[in-house]
Amino acid sequence: MTTSETTRVAVLVGSLRADSLNRKLAEVLRDQAPAGVTIDIVDGLGQIPFYNEDVDGENAPAAVTALRDAIGAADRVLVITPEYNGTMPAVLNNAIDWASRPFGEGAIKGKPFAVVGTSVGQFGGKWAHDDTRRSAGVAGAVVVEDVDLAHAYAWGTDPSSDEETIAKFVAALGDLAGFTPEVTAA
């Protein structure tokens, strides 16, 4: 927690589509966040170039610096994403790559991290969520395994307007915000 007792959560949305249902859910969470939780939706993921060590460092692109700053300023990271072809969207994998650098010191290192989302189909994006958790864990994030919400919806429906679905997402956000990392003795 920050000194103001507010938990800041950086939210990365896996879909770049303007009318994305996952983006709508992120906006609902921002508007209905539990008391003491502030949501910062990280925009501009589509402007971040694919990771390339040759352009990293002091002169990293502005979109990369903005991503790293947003994650660095947050107490937690929440990814809200659909599934693309059985895995996470490339834009998320790329964001995790940039946030993990420099190796061992990246903005994502040690951040409690969770993945939720909605997708068409019976699994609701579970494979994408599993892959995102694995990637973030390798990158140094503290993956909060107890926050696991893969919501399946049918074509033509909007989960961001369903009160029961919204309540599940708000509860998952609350679980992430309330997560206390386990401290092990050296």
24 is a domain residue: yes
**DSSP H or E stretch at residue 119:** strand 112-120
Which has the higher per-residue pLDDT, 104 or 111? 111
141 assigned to some structural domain: yes
Asked whether the whole model's pTM tops 0.85, one would answer yes
Please report whether residue 173 resides in a domain: yes
What are the residue ranges of helices labelled H in 12-61? Answer: 21-32
pLDDT in tens, 41-95: 999 999 999 999 999 999 999 999 999 999 999 999 999 999 998 899 999 999 9
Question: The domain containing residue 55 runs over which residues?
Answer: 7-178
CA distance 109 to 125: 25
Asked if residue 2 belongs to a domain, the reply is no
Q: By the 8 A CB rule, do 51 and 101 touch?
A: yes
Where residue 124 sits, what CATH number does that domain have? 3.40.50.360
Average model confidence (pLDDT) across the chain:
92
- What would the mean pLDDT of 90-107 be, rounded to a whole number? 95
Mean pLDDT of 131-139: 97
What percent of the chain is modeled with pLDDT above 70? Answer: 96
Indicate whether 132 belongs to any domain. Answer: yes
Question: Structurally, how many domains does the chain consist of?
Answer: 1
> Is it the case that residue 165 has pLDDT exceeding 70?
yes
Q: Which of 120, 48, 130 is nearest to 90 (CA)?
A: 48
Q: Is residue 1 part of a domain?
A: no
Q: Does the residue 186 lie in any domain?
A: no
HSE-up of 107 (CA within 13 Å, CB side)?
Answer: 20
Tokens standing for 87? 């895995």
- Does residue 185 sit within a domain? no
